[in-house]
């Protein structure tokens, strides 16, 4: 519960790990003795803010979800309901399925492959969502960014104008659901939920300062980096 409103966490774990090669879905690979997905679930459950968790999974991996991710959960966090919902063909379809299954006033949509984020970040995002309707975490690039002009150096981009987008992304549930329904019905697909709400929900999401340690695992090297960050 947050400011007398209910909060749901929708964790997307139905994707394929194409950039990590064949084998187990990256969200079920272990970091510090627990699957990647379990770390994300426990952060939400332990935040004392979330009223329910919705896990969007690949139906072919239901056994992995039950035995590895849920079987590794800290039992002291088991009072909060955890729902399971099959995902769709694309990320947007999975997000829609998860939000539809949620029964809360606000939803925080999170990539299951981001195991290292804090409860403080969730609070900051919800503070902004209450005021603006939608919010996401972003971090400013630290490297020089230059356009690639057919293999040759192009113009240097003003990095102060840009952020690297992270999750969780938080929304008033009905605002998000109306926007994503319109996106699917009009056959428009977006790379993240904030983009859907910005384009079709009539709301400019608020950018909240993200966490540089909130790394999304896409390669084996990312797994090694996360292990170091979470051990320190």
List, in sequence order, every beta strand (DSSP E) within the chain: 7-13, 30-31, 34-35, 52-57, 82-86, 106-111, 134-139, 145-149, 152-157, 164-165, 169-172, 206-209
β-strand partners of 209: 138
pLDDT, tens digit, 9 for 90 and up, residues 35-79:
999 999 999 999 999 999 999 999 999 999 999 999 999 867 768
Max Cα–Cα distance, the chain, nearest Å: 56
pLDDT, tens digit, 9 for 90 and up, residues 188-211:
999 999 999 999 999 999 999 999
Mean pLDDT, range 154-172, rounded to an integer = 95
pLDDT, tens digit, 9 for 90 and up, residues 101-134:
999 999 999 999 999 999 999 999 999 999 999 9
Please state, in angstroms and rounded to a whole number, the distance separating the CA atoms of residues 142 and 140.
6
The reported pLDDT for the residue numbered 119 is 96
Fold held by 7-137+164-231 = Spore Coat Polysaccharide Biosynthesis Protein SpsA; Chain A (3.90.550)
The reported pLDDT for the residue numbered 149 is 93
The reported pLDDT for the residue numbered 24 is 74
């Amino acid at each position: 519960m947050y400011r007398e409103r209910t909060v749901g966490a929708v964790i997307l774990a139905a994707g394929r790990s194409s950039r990590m090669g064949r084998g187990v879905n990256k969200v079920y690979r272990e970091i510090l003795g627990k699957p990647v997905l379990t770390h994300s679930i426990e952060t939400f459950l332990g935040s004392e803010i979330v009223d329910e968790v919705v896990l969007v999974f690949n139906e072919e991996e239901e056994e992995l979800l039950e035995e590895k991710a849920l079987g590794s959960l800290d039992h002291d966090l088991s009072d909060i309901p955890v729902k399971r919902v099959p995902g769709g063909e694309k990320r947007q379809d999975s997000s829609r399925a998860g939000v539809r299954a949620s029964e809360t006033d606000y939803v925080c949509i999170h990539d299951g492959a981001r195991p290292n984020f804090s409860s403080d970040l969730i609070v900051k995002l919800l503070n902004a969502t209450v005021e603006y309707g939608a919010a996401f975490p972003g971090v400013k690039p630290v490297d020089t960014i230059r356009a690639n002009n057919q293999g040759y150096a192009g113009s240097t981009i003003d990095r102060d104008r840009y952020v690297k987008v992270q999750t969780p992304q938080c929304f008033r549930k009905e605002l998000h659901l109306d926007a994503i329904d319109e996106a699917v019905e009009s056959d428009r697909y977006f790379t993240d939920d904030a983009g859907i709400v910005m384009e079709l929900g009539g709301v400019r999401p608020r950018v909240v300062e993200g966490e540089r340690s909130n790394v999304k695992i896409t390669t084996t090297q990312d797994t090694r980096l996360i292990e170091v960050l979470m051990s320190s």
